[in-house]
Structure 1
Amino acid sequence: MSTSMENQGKPITTHDMVVVHRMFRREFREAAGRVRGVRHGSRAQVRLVADRVALLLDTLHHHHEVEARLLWPKLAERAPGQSELWKRMRVQHADLAARLERADALLGPWTAGGASARGEELAAALEQVSQAVGEHFDQEEREALPLVPAVVSQAEWDEIGDAASAALPKSRLLTVLGMILKDADPGEQILIMAHLPLAPRVIWRAVGERNFRRLEERLAAAVGHG
């Protein structure tokens, strides 16, 4: 079996993955500051920050779960000469999973305590996740993603994006979409929206985008930046 996908038409783009990575990089960079910034906030403000952190942790977990199921096995089979790279990717995923669990374990007590308990521990844990996320994505984008177009078809790549969207609770899909589109240019927005069914795309344009901007304003105010 040939591993080349050249006969599938123009080469696929993996840039949609880079756009999603950009969201995770930004959100995890900001997460520790949000936890620290809401230290003297109301319980409603604490819950607002906690909700964003919980969503972020859960979304990265799903992102890596989809990769482990639909991407790494294909690459390991079709590019066996890169076995050391795939091994490093899996080790990094395991390390990140442990860091995510640590942050999640601290999030509950912090939220219940109204930001008075374990806040610095949680912020430090989120900083560790942020650093590990950046290092992992740097390596993935530099070494792994350039190999994908030669061995993965457009349909297979689309399946990964579709599965990532489907893994999110429907009630949180538009918030995550807003997080991803926040720094995206028009072309990148088209790439991301292509992974959504028609209904969420319509709802996003009708009310989702406006609601997300309001959420961002409330979140900024909660941590003293509004």
Structure 2
Amino acid sequence: MSIPMQNQGKPITTHDMVVVHRMFRREFREAAGRVRGVRHGSRAQIRLVADRLALLLDTLHHHHAGEDRLLWPKLAERVPGHAELWKRMQGQHAELSARLARAGALLGPWATGAGSARGEELAAALEEVAGAVEEHFDEEEREALPLAPGVVSQAEWDEIGAAAVAAVPRSRQFTVLGMILKDTDPGEQILIMAHLPLPPRVLWRAVGERGFRRLEERLAAAVGHG
């Protein structure tokens, strides 16, 4: 069976997705340590860590929801010889959704002062999420994303990025952008910024980037690394 060629111009690059995955990998690897590190912190410091974790959990949920709605159905239709792969991708999303929900349920009580025992339970749940994230992204980047160029158009790929941006509350968009750009090279920064309209790009350079650096300094200090 021939594969329908949806992209008649230059094939899309999926590296922007890999860059976003890199952010999730790093943030979840650090998540449990942040919970444990702020155990004896002030209430304000605990809230700072909790806010970052809540944003992280919510952002990954919306990232996967966007793929489930805008990517996997297209690939399943256009690259039908990989039905088991698409089933695994969606199954891993469902498993991660349950793990995210468990971590989220533990996060609220910990943030409001439930004590170190609840903190250790939350840290363990975040470690489970981190392991599942690594496994899922490894397979997605190795097996699934290489199939997208040629069968997914640039407009369709851009729609996934736009949906991800729209899912983040406006007040938190610069925080998420900073998290994504944190470990990027100049070429990757251009790739990520291309998903944003001009006004947010200008604001990021003017005030957002500096504000994110200050937030990172406060977060590091809260967990004893400042």
Task: Tell me the TM-score range normalised by the shorter chain.
Answer: over 0.9
**Mapped partners of 2:185, 2:131: distance in 1:** 25
On the 8 A contact 2:64/2:93 being kept in 1, the answer is yes
Residues 24-80 of structure 1: CA distance to partner in whole angstroms, max 9, x if unpaired?
Answer: 000000000000000000000000000000000000000001001100110011111
C-alpha displacement at 1:11, in angstroms? 1.4
RMSD: 1.2
Residue 63 (structure 1) aligns with: 63
Partner of 1:154: 154
Q: Deviations over 1:161-216 (max 9, x none)?
A: 11111111000000000000000110000111111111211110000000000000
Alignment check: 8 A CA contact 2:38 2:223 kept: yes
Question: How big is the shift at 1:150?
Answer: 2.2
Residues 92, 136 of structure 1: 8 Å contact kept:
yes
2:171 partner amino acid: S
Aligned partner of 1:26 in structure 2 is 26
Structure 1: give runs of 5+ residues left out of the alignment.
Answer: none
CA contact (8 A) 2:3 2:79 kept: no
Partner residue of 2:13?
Answer: 13
SS in 2 for 1:33: helix
User: Using the alignment, how far apart are the partners of 1:205 and 1:72 within structure 2?
Assistant: 34
CA contact (8 A) 1:42 1:114 kept: no
Equivalent residue, structure 1, for 2:4: 3
Tell me the TM-score normalized by structure 2. Answer: 0.97
Shift of 1:10: 1.6
Deviation, structure 1 residue 108: 0.5
Give the CA deviation at 1:4. Answer: 1.9
**CA 1:14/1:103 → structure 2, altered by over 3 Å: closer, same or farther?**
same
Indicate the larger mover: 149-158 or 84-93.
Answer: 149-158
Q: Which amino acid aligns with 1:148?
A: A
Give the whole-Å Cα distance in 2 for the aligned partners of 1:95 and 1:107. Answer: 19
1:172 and 2:172 correspond: yes
Percent identical among aligned pairs is 82
Secondary structure, counterpart of 1:118 in structure 2: helix
**How many pairs align?**
225
- Contact 2:27/2:56, CA 8 A, preserved across alignment: yes
Secondary structure, in 3 states, of the residue corresponding to 2:150? helix
Within 2, Cα distance between the matches of 1:10 and 1:19? 20
Report the equivalent of 2:87. Answer: 87
Counterpart AA for 2:221: A
SS in 2 for 1:9: coil
Corresponding position of 2:129: 129
How far apart are the structure 2 equivalents of 1:51 and 1:30? 14
| TM-score (ref. length: structure 1) | 0.97
Question: How far is 1:114 from its partner?
Answer: 6.2
Moved over 6 A (4+): none
